[in-house]
Structure 1
Amino acid sequence: MLQQNTIAKSFKKNWGIETIMLLAIPAMIENILQVFIGVVDTYFVGKLGTEAIAGVGITNLTMNVYISFFLALGIGTTAIVSRYIGAKDHEKANHAVKQSLIMSIIIGLVFGGINLIFSKRLLLILGAEESVLEYALPYFICVAVPAVFICINMVLSSALRGAGDTKTPMKIAIVANVVNAVLDYILIFGIFNFNGFGILGAGLATTFSRVLSVVLLMIKINAKEAKINIYFSKQWKIDIIMLKSITKISIPAAVEKLIMRSGQLLYGGMIVKIGTGAYAAHNIAGTIETFSYLPGMGFGVAAATLVGQSLGGKKKDEAQSYGLMSYFLATGFMVIVGIIFYIFAPFLAGLFTEDEAVIGQVVQVLRLIALFQPFLCVTLVITSALQGAGDTRFPMYSSFIGIWGIRVLGVYILCMKLGFGLIGVWIAYVIDIIVRGVILMNRYLKGKWKEIKFS
């Protein structure tokens, strides 16, 4: 747990670099592990055939919508917990975690019920054919119905990060990865005299690893030495005022995620019309680009936590400096990733396909986005810093302008009307991140977010 005086001393010594790194690196590793768990699942399920891969993919499309709400609740939890921890009001921090946990259980159960009742209908709406439905339905029911465990997991992890503990979520993610990988093999294919469950086994492995994560997080958050403690507290009744505070922060964050998802869905449909090769190249480039996000996301966690804690301790200038230093450090990492993209673009593209035409398009895209990593970093780190301060409305507005006003419209004009092809898609993307980057940084430097109050 980060003590306020320790943060202050560290900041004076090295502009907060050491403190930021202690928070950011575990968060970066956790993000890498979250990506890796999906890679492992896809690898094992791929052995069952293309229909099985499609079944998992369709399930994930639905889950991504739900996860947007869960992530938003996590953002609200981090913002409020970090503020109370910074103010050294641990009782209110504990109370906020309990209220977030109550909300996560309600939201998770509601989404789980929807998934159970409308499972087949949802998959058919998403375009699942009978051959795919055979695989998708058991996996969907097994993974999507217990959605409550994903929501609880995200809230508890966010609470720990808000208190300055990014190592615990990282360690638990390591355990979850190992358990998931082992159970994937055993439950999908079988071992000794056990024949395995096929794709159902993949769903069981995923759900079990999530349940295990929740159990481990509960143990950690209830430990006697922990400064966040929800088990030994007496009050567990619903607090409408606290729930309103959490919701006020979380709803704009949820809307922002939905704006991004819906925009991606729409311009993704436009890319399909360009051609199969272009769509394949777009997905490959997007998959590779994901790795450039990881440093920004990790330093974003550090920025959100330290901005919130500094504001709680009434250290507004220190809060702003932590956000900026987090941005500069993340930019350094992301520029290095951009250089790797630019130099090794042909090699990276060749890992995913042997089609020379597709490789050529991927190389063009990677070298384009490599040049604009600092702007992408703003949309990740500075957005998180603002959200850590409780300013979730402005990132929502900027996302609406960027995704719908620039990216979707830009793809339509450059690709559908002017015939720029895939490179036009990514030119629109670059314009989006530049405009949003400038808008977000301007908002941050003006400092209006420092005056946001929580009830």
Structure 2
Amino acid sequence: MAKKFSLFALTWPIFIELTLHMLTGNADTFMLSQYSDESVAAVGVANQLLFMFIVMFGFVATGTSILIAQYAGANDEKTASRIGAVSIWANVLFGLMLSFALVVGGNWLLQLMNVPSELTADAHAYLRIVGGFSFVQAIIMTIGAILRSHGFTKDIMNVTIGVNILNIIGNYFVLFGPFGLPVLGVEGVAWSTTISRMIGLVIGFLLIMKRLPHPLPLLSKEAFSFAYVKQLLKIGIPSAGEHVAYNTSQLVITYFITLLGTEALTTRVYTQNLMMFIFLFSVAIGQGTQIIVGHLVGAQRFNEAYARCLKSLRLAVIISFTAAALFSLFSDHLFSIFTSNKRMIEAGGTLILLTMILEPGRSFNLVIINSLRAAGDVKFPVYIGIASMWGVSVPLAYVLGIQLDLGLVGIWLAFTADEWLRGLLVYWRWKSNVWRTKSFIKKEATA
């Protein structure tokens, strides 16, 4: 019998955790905006690159979430713990490799993105420090996946609270120099982010040792089992493919925005910081739903899984539209927190207005794709994602934003078309019930 989970009990800690992540990002942006608008743009571009690499860490974490949820649903905690141990070591190795790549190739990547010369030094400093220690984030993601799959979403929330508080305090010291301390600017913010994450990593390991029903065999030969690695990769790589396609397409579109100038780039950063608060409702609902669907599929309770996804979808669409409408109503005040530039405030307000159409479409993707993955149907979202992001979003952003000179408005229209196309296609996939044949537990049992 699958463990009984409440969507609300799982989702509210995820929501708080995501809110804190967003607040930290906004706190970084707000604090940096007091330092200079150029530093905001520099960190925004560097983070765009870092997000792409962090998402690549996610292929192990995604595979971990799906397998552990299904095995836990099937009451096989011993196998679930083995998979957890393997996933941690896999992301340690992969994280170190990508951290090295960011340190060595960071400047080249910034040049490839056509980053304005006045932003390059700060962007490279941030990328070198935060990127060089990105393996820490890779391990944290894996620990979070393990704990969430067992339903311990409150623990991850508490860790996030602590890490974010430390990061904000660190930012204050390095940007404003109290007590005569030196002002370190962007480089100081990078170290603040890195050190706070390291502390969170230590706490995460302590929680894993305390909470799990079966201890992780981290130092046994099972932790290096290639058979389990193959299982993780079989699910995780296709799942990561959709994320990689999204983030690489976003990098190309960021390049388009650099053609519009530093002001447009900074407006995009401010707008995205606000948009995160809108779609985090759907992200939280999608992640909570993934845990429940994974357990239900592992227990072969497919009808309940089917109904759970659709109920979550309705909730996410309603909440995201309402949040977007509220943000649009107060957009001038919200953008004024970050900047006094009237052109940026006006442009950002228009983008938030368009977000009222964009975000419900994104809700389809965030909820249904998570449910498809939880059921083991991981390849279809990748195929649809690559086709839509690169066949619709990227070319449409260039045509509307650059060639037709609609600027950021044209690029936002391209985002909207992409989200709705993908959203309707994955909705059709869920309604088709093909995912019922993809359960990893079911396949293994009948092999």
What is the TM-score of this pair, normalised by structure 1?
0.87
- What is the match of residue 10 of structure 1? none
Distance in 2 of aligned mates of 1:381 and 1:350: 32
Deviations 1:152-188 (A, max 9, x none): 0001101111111211111100000111122233355
Residue of 382, 404, 415 corresponding to 1:429: 415
Q: What does 1:153-232 correspond to in 2, within 5 Å?
A: 153-187=140-174, 192=179, 195=182, 198-223=185-210, 225-230=211-216
Hey, which bits of structure 1, 4+ residues long, moved more than 6 A?
128-131
Q: Counterpart amino acid of 1:113?
A: F
Q: Structure 1's 290 and 448: CA in aligned 2 closer, same or farther, altered over 3 A?
A: same
Q: Are the counterparts in 1 of residues 33 and 39 from structure 2 also a CA contact under 8 Å?
A: yes
Q: Are the counterparts in 1 of residues 84 and 146 from structure 2 also a CA contact under 8 Å?
A: yes
Residue of 80, 85, 92 corresponding to 2:67: 80
- CA displacement at 1:195 relative to structure 2: 4.1
Q: Structure 1's 450 and 125: CA in aligned 2 closer, same or farther, altered over 3 A?
A: same
- What is the match of residue 236 of structure 2? 250
Q: Are the counterparts in 1 of residues 263 and 344 from structure 2 also a CA contact under 8 Å?
A: yes
- What is the match of residue 4 of structure 1? 2
- CA displacement at 1:341 relative to structure 2: 3.3
Q: Structure 1's 54 and 160: CA in aligned 2 closer, same or farther, altered over 3 A?
A: same
Q: What does 1:266-345 correspond to in 2, within 5 Å?
A: 266-273=252-259, 281-345=267-331
Distance in 2 of aligned mates of 1:396 and 1:68: 14
Distance in 2 of aligned mates of 1:294 and 1:49: 27
Q: Structure 1's 356 and 114: CA in aligned 2 closer, same or farther, altered over 3 A?
A: closer
Distance in 1 of aligned mates of 2:311 and 2:158: 26
* Unmatched runs of 5 consecutive residues or more in structure 2: none
Residue of 20, 25, 35 corresponding to 2:12: 25
Q: Counterpart amino acid of 1:304?
A: Q
Q: Are the counterparts in 1 of residues 55 and 244 from structure 2 also a CA contact under 8 Å?
A: yes
* Unmatched runs of 5 consecutive residues or more in structure 1: 8-18
Distance in 1 of aligned mates of 2:273 and 2:425: 27
- What is the match of residue 246 of structure 2? 260
Q: Structure 1's 292 and 135: CA in aligned 2 closer, same or farther, altered over 3 A?
A: closer
Secondary structure at 1:213 match in 2: helix
Q: Are the counterparts in 1 of residues 68 and 84 from structure 2 also a CA contact under 8 Å?
A: yes
- What is the match of residue 37 of structure 1? 24
Aligned length, in residue pairs: 441
Deviations 1:271-309 (A, max 9, x none): 454566655554444332222110000001111111111
Q: Structure 1's 149 and 359: CA in aligned 2 closer, same or farther, altered over 3 A?
A: closer
Greater shift after overlay, 97-106 or 186-195? 186-195
Distance in 1 of aligned mates of 2:107 and 2:271: 32
What is the TM-score of this pair, normalised by structure 2?
0.88
Q: Structure 1's 238 and 201: CA in aligned 2 closer, same or farther, altered over 3 A?
A: same
Q: What does 1:368-447 correspond to in 2, within 5 Å?
A: 368-447=354-433
Secondary structure at 1:4 match in 2: coil
Q: Structure 1's 130 and 268: CA in aligned 2 closer, same or farther, altered over 3 A?
A: closer
Q: Counterpart amino acid of 1:316?
A: F
- CA displacement at 1:90 relative to structure 2: 0.5
Q: What is the Cα-based RMSD across aligned positions, in Å?
A: 2.9
Q: Are the counterparts in 2 of residues 341 and 370 from structure 1 also a CA contact under 8 Å?
A: no
Q: Structure 1's 408 and 125: CA in aligned 2 closer, same or farther, altered over 3 A?
A: closer
Distance in 1 of aligned mates of 2:36 and 2:331: 29
Distance in 2 of aligned mates of 1:158 and 1:93: 12
Deviations 1:13-41 (A, max 9, x none): xxxxxx00111111111111111222233
Greater shift after overlay, 277-286 or 112-121? 277-286
